Chains A and B, each alone.
Chain A
Amino acid sequence: MTAKKTFPNPPRRVALFVTCMVDMLYPEVGMATVELLEKQGIEVVFPEAQTCCGQPAFNAGFRDEARVLARRFVDIFEPLVISGQVDAVVAPSGSCVTMVTHFYDVLFESESAVEYRYRAANLAAATFELTEFLVDVLGVTDVKSRFDGKLTYHASCHLLRELGVDRQPRALLENVAGAELVPLDGADECCGFGGLFAIKNGPISTAMGERKAANIIKSGADVATLCDVSCMTHINGLLSRQQQRCRVVHIAQVLNNQVDVADSPGTSRADVAAPEPSRRWQDAREEK
């Protein structure tokens, strides 16, 4: 893997890689990501042609299909990085970032794809997971957030073991005012999602997830946080089926004050109010 891009000057503009799951299922996570970045003075652009990075096809072994999507992804994001239109690409997902930073290299191994391999490496160097970007690039560990209750943290597999990102989200959570960070047994153990694994091996996946859900309940946390909505969908799917009170939310939502401990467990996304735009605009204007 290529070395990560360094920033002699503080980055000013990033391209958001929102991921297809966030786009379609959890837009509030995408908005939280945008707002978090904007609060740090970062301008966010959203290349609207983006869809999926190709990870589901790649994980299932369908490399030709994954390669088509990977090329498309490189074509959309790499020119922005190379031309200096953005300083980095940021995504609220450890596993989608891993796809770009680690697995595009595998997809473009063949000689005929050497151009894309090179371009993918450029892109990989400038692509960051959200907490990684906040902590390692911006040097921020306190985003002035508040949560009055108990929080715990589940370390998603790709984020932890491929990207090696773990202290970054924990550092951010430690600075959430009012929150008590409680330990989670088996925090680094897989929740059993694994993409198509959850369908192809449903019963095993469920057994793994039930263990994760039980550990979360045992932790006593009001809310478990993580950096991947895929794991979130899996664990919440189990907690919801079991009609548990606690639930899992994306770290961006906690850091952006979108989570309240009093929220009832059955709250569906539709009930979550769309973020108020005016406040952000005033912020932006004041800066000018």
Chain B
Amino acid sequence: MSVDIHAPYKERVDTALHDKHLRIALDRATSRMKTQRADAMAAIDGERLRTQVRKMKSYVLRNLPDLLETLESNLTANGAHVHWAADGEEADRIILDIARQANVQKAVKAKSMTSEEIHLNGVLQQAGIKVVETDLGEYIIQLADEPPSHIIAPVIHKRIEDISQVFQRELDMPPTMDPSAMTGAARQILRREFLSADLGISGCNFAIAETGTICIVTNEGNGRMVSSMPRVYIAVMGIEKLVPTVEDAFLQYQALCRSATGQQCSVYLSMTSGPRRADHPDGPEEFHVVLMDNGRLNMLARGYGEALMCVRCGACLNACPVYREIGGHAYGSTYSGPIGAVISPLLNTDVTDADKLPHASSLCGACRDACPVKIDLPRLLLNERADQVAEGDTAWFDRQAIRAFADTMKSPGRYAAAASFARTGSNLLAGMSGGNITFMPPPFSAWTQSRDFPPFAKKSFRRQWRERQERRKRIGNEGQRSKIED
């Protein structure tokens, strides 16, 4: 039973936690990717790289309008068409219009989270355009009719056994556990699709402002075919995905590859600076770039600009102990893991129970340590929680409970009274179960459902301390007396 991303948060999490195969798949993949990243960063001065990338990305954020204009003018000078989209719907409309005008029947796509964010496939398919995902992972989940569950490893939620079943069901493939046999089958089909497609669509890992170049990073070469074989090529990107110079591009490229897959560099880095020219043997006749906001400026305005430094490497997902237990679909959003929990409520997307996501973290900070841009994800999650409270967007019970807590802690008298009440109550509960507390009433039952709780101490520390001080005073006085008597 796979997780329905539109279901309520609680249900998504419960389904994920009860899916044994999912948890095996997640365990295998995240631990492998975590080690690969750590090794790749340890092989160089990883700390220096992270500092440099962060500096560069904060420069980009500070100079976003200027850099976007530079990018636009250079792209235009190269012969590309630049489109601006305020939100996902507008981006979809722009892309659909381009496709219709070019009389497109079939589109091939390289993996793109931005296109997932705006549900582009559905829009094109509804208009009668066939869409084929060409990244192997994306192809598998397209066959399985599921959304991606990881930023760079879309099919991370499936074990090889599960993928084999999808291939048997959808491609009539004989049962096999050989990854290369499955890849071979997909490759044969995808080659034909590349040759017959009219439109190539990709995202953009980074765009170079000074040259007007769209860069896509892949390991399968599908990105290169998508951007060079069909007669029309569209790249859709968030407005934050740009770097000032070629040098900066390679800085980000380093950080991305090492953090995402632990590679020194990916197998392919495909760069497109413009459409085919008269003297070129191949390349797209039309080249469009869609620059999309869809909530990003809102993030900047609301003080979450730091999250726009993200290079979408997925390292925070692999590092996250919460993601490891529940996987990507439980977040209910295109973007999962710590970065997804931060940006999903802020982006202009329709995520069920998005307000629960900032709480789906123990704030352990492993994500920040893994992030190649050192984004302080726990701090951003804390800020989102504070924003929810400030905007009155919290459950009545939570509000009352925290206020009661603060009121108690404000006064030593009330604190002592509460402690003594808790002591009596907990001793009663502990007495019932002999030792530890195994049952508590709601909402604390959320704890005792799976965990015991210790009873409150018979004598608090402060009481023991007071008694100790009194003993000391007494002994001290006796000492004084004995001295006098001497």
Contacts and interface: CB of A to CB of B under 8 A. Distances in A.
Interface of A: 18, 20, 22-28, 30-31, 34, 46, 48-49, 51-52, 54, 56-63, 65-66, 68-69, 72, 106, 157-158, 161-162, 188-190, 192-209, 211, 233-234, 236-238, 240-241, 266, 268-270, 274, 277-278, 281, 285
Contacts of B363: 59, 157, 194-195, 197
A27 B419 CA distance: 13
A23 B17 contact: no
Given A61-B386, A157-B364, A277-B471, A51 B412 contact: yes
Nearest to B367: A161
Given A204-B326, A208-B325, A197 B462 contact: no
Nearest to B325: A207
Contacts, number: 212
A61 B356 CA distance: 13
9 contacts: A25-B457, A52-B415, A61-B385, A62-B389, A65-B402, A201-B359, A203-B14, A207-B17, A270-B455
Contact of A68 (B387, B410, B419): B410
Of the listed residues B365, B385, B406, B463, the one surrounded by the most CB atoms of chain A closer than 10 A to its CB is: B406
A13 B369 CA distance: 36
Contact of A241 (B362, B382, B386, B438): B438
Contacts of A189: 321, 364, 366
Ranked 6 nearest A-B pairs via Cβ: A194-B362, A61-B385, A237-B451, A190-B364, A65-B406, A161-B365
Interface string B336-351: 0000000000000000
B367 to A, nearest CB: 10
Given A48-B412, A62-B389, A268 B454 contact: yes
B406 to A, nearest CB: 4
B481 interface: no
B174 interface: no
Interface stretch (B147-155, B163-171, B441-449): B441-449
A65 B412 CA distance: 16
Given A52-B409, A190-B364, A277-B468, A61 B388 contact: yes
A209 B13 contact: no
Contacts of A193: 362
A209 B360 CA distance: 15
B59 interface: no
B430 interface: yes
B362 A27 contact: no
A103 to B, nearest CB: 8
A56 B410 CA distance: 13
Contact of B461 (A27, A72, A206): A27
Contact of B454 (A52, A194, A198, A236): A236
B455 A198 contact: no
A192 B321 contact: yes
B464 interface: yes
A200 B455 CA distance: 21
Contacts of A277: 468, 471-472
Given A48-B462, A52-B409, A208-B322, 14 more contacts: A23-B460, A27-B459, A30-B465, A62-B402, A63-B386, A69-B406, A157-B365, A190-B362, A202-B447, A203-B13, A240-B452, A241-B452, A281-B471, A281-B475
A237 B321 contact: no
Interface of B: 13-14, 17, 321-322, 325-326, 359-366, 368-369, 379, 382, 384-390, 394, 398-399, 402-403, 405-406, 408-410, 412, 415, 419, 422-423, 430, 435-436, 438, 443-444, 446-447, 449-466, 468, 471-472, 475, 479
A261 B294 CA distance: 59
Contact of A199 (B14, B443, B462): B443
Q: Which secondary structure characterizes the binding site on chain B?
A: helix
A208 B320 CA distance: 11
Contacts of A206: 449-451
A31 B366 contact: no
A201 B364 CA distance: 14
Contacts of B423: 24
Contacts of A54: 406, 409
Contact of B382 (A26, A31, A58): A58
Nearest to A206: B450
Given A20-B409, A62-B402, A197 B436 contact: no
A278 B474 CA distance: 12
B387 A269 contact: no
Of the listed residues B368, B379, B384, B435, the one surrounded by the most CB atoms of chain A closer than 10 A to its CB is: B435
A188 B422 CA distance: 32
Given A236-B454, A237-B447, A268-B430, A197 B362 contact: yes
A57 B402 contact: yes
Of the listed residues A27, A200, A204, the one surrounded by the most CB atoms of chain B closer than 10 A to its CB is: A204
A165 to B, nearest CB: 13
A277 to B, nearest CB: 5
A208 B27 CA distance: 12
A240 B460 contact: no
Contact of A269 (B360, B410, B455, B471): B455
Contact of B364 (A23, A61, A194): A194
B369 A161 contact: yes
